[in-house]
Chain A
Amino acid sequence: MKLHLRIQLLFGFYLSFILYSLAVDAAAAMLYAAYGSGIFPMLWLLKFMTLLFTCYTIHRRKKSEYYYYYNQGLSLRQIWIPVLVFDIGLFLCITLVFHA
């Protein structure tokens, strides 16, 4: 599969929960700004728990849409792993930007 098509499909999937994710990232960033780096382990816990909940909810709600990605040759792992890596990377970037 061509890289741009893969990115387009993964981004389309990420759009299904980007708002929840960004809301958590923004909340974490504000907490970080208010309480400093000491709160960082708590923020990771917050991100981890909310991400777990989001994944569970999206997995249940969007189960039927997996066929769309299967028919393009993407397996569940190939969908979820890059999207989660990107999401956690985004979380890290946002908190680091606030730290700076």
Chain B
Amino acid sequence: MHDVNTYLSVNGVRLTLNHRCILSAINLQCHRHQVTGLLGRNGAGKSCLFQVIYGILPAEKSIEFNGQVLYAAYRRPDLITSLPQFHFIPKRATIRSVLKNFGLTPDELLHYFPGFRGSDTGAMGNLSTGERRLIEIFTIVRSAAAFSLLDEPFSNLSPLHTETVMQLIKNETSRKGFLITDHRFQQVLDIAQKAYVLKNGGTHLVEHNEDLALLGYTSYRNPG
């Protein structure tokens, strides 16, 4: 079990793809019991940053977990799990086997998503896009890792399920931390204790809502 001050620190990331500098001035910290939001326009490099943190995209970087350098985070599912923005669970796998592999039970799933009652023996490929996404979100959010990276967890979800997922994430902060990116920024900000905007390859801490407009992430609105 990790202590309360557990943190994930990401610094000095430098990523160049096709002679284009994607990431260059990254500095962010995530803490356990917190949701950290990462916002940014399309193409800003959010997903690339997630892949760099997870260790599957080679880049210059300094990823530290509690002060210890983490080279390939994906080899440590006890520390970090990652939800990509696409479907990642094989279609032939059954819901029950997927849950079991993540150390979860169907009852835990049904507690949040009763709509899956009776279908836990079915294959992932038989589910709708949204249902598949729900299972994927549930397994990563509920995984035993100290931190989970969530890339667009709210996409393809109905408003009701979005609320349930937000509640699920909030509940899980009692034992772990999250780094979330999603274009539905209001939902991200509603559950995040801290947020960054990724712009021009660097991270900028958001201290006030106006910062989002100043950083060019949202359109400027005159308070008057």
Task: Give the B-binding residues of A (Cβ under 8 A).
Answer: 5, 8-9, 12, 15-16, 62, 64-68, 70-73, 75
Whether the pair B90, A16 counts as a contact (CB closer than 8 A) is yes
CB distance from B190 to the nearest CB of A (A): 26
B72 interfacial by beta-carbon distance below 8 Å? yes
Given A12-B93, A67-B82, A70-B54: A75 and B74 interface contact (C-beta under 8 Å): yes
Whether the pair A9, B74 counts as a contact (CB closer than 8 A) is no
> Majority SS of interface residues in chain B?
loop
Whether the pair A67, B101 counts as a contact (CB closer than 8 A) is no
Q: A70-B56, A71-B82, A73-B74 are in contact. List 12 more A-B contacts (CB 8 A).
A: A9-B101, A12-B93, A64-B86, A65-B88, A67-B82, A67-B88, A68-B93, A70-B54, A70-B74, A71-B102, A73-B77, A75-B74
Whether the pair B101, A64 counts as a contact (CB closer than 8 A) is no
Q: What residue in chain B is nearest A78 (Cβ atoms)?
A: B75
Within 8 A of A (CB), among B42-59: 54, 56
Report chain A residues within 8 Å CB of B102: 71
Whether the pair B90, A65 counts as a contact (CB closer than 8 A) is yes
Report chain B residues within 8 Å CB of A64: 84, 86-88
B34 interfacial by beta-carbon distance below 8 Å? no
Task: Give the A-binding residues of B (Cβ under 8 A).
Answer: 54, 56, 72, 74-78, 81-82, 84, 86-90, 92-93, 97, 101-102, 139-140, 143
CA of A4 to CA of B90, assembled, Å: 19
CB distance from A43 to the nearest CB of B (A): 30
CB distance from A2 to the nearest CB of B (A): 10
Given A9-B101, A64-B84: A71 and B77 interface contact (C-beta under 8 Å): yes
CB distance from B65 to the nearest CB of A (A): 15
CA of A9 to CA of B89, assembled, Å: 12
Report chain A residues within 8 Å CB of B75: 73, 75
Whether the pair B56, A68 counts as a contact (CB closer than 8 A) is no
Report chain A residues within 8 Å CB of B76: 73
CA of A72 to CA of B54, assembled, Å: 13
Name the one of B56, B77, B84, B86 contacting A72, with C-beta atoms under 8 angstroms: B77
Report chain B residues within 8 Å CB of A75: 72, 74-75
CA of A68 to CA of B135, assembled, Å: 12
- Which 3 pairs, one residue from A and one from B, show the smallest C-beta to C-beta distance? A67-B88, A70-B74, A73-B77
CB distance from A17 to the nearest CB of B (A): 12
Report chain A residues within 8 Å CB of B54: 70
CB distance from B105 to the nearest CB of A (A): 16
Name the one of B56, B92, B140 contacting A15, with C-beta atoms under 8 angstroms: B92
Given A12-B93, A67-B82: A72 and B88 interface contact (C-beta under 8 Å): no
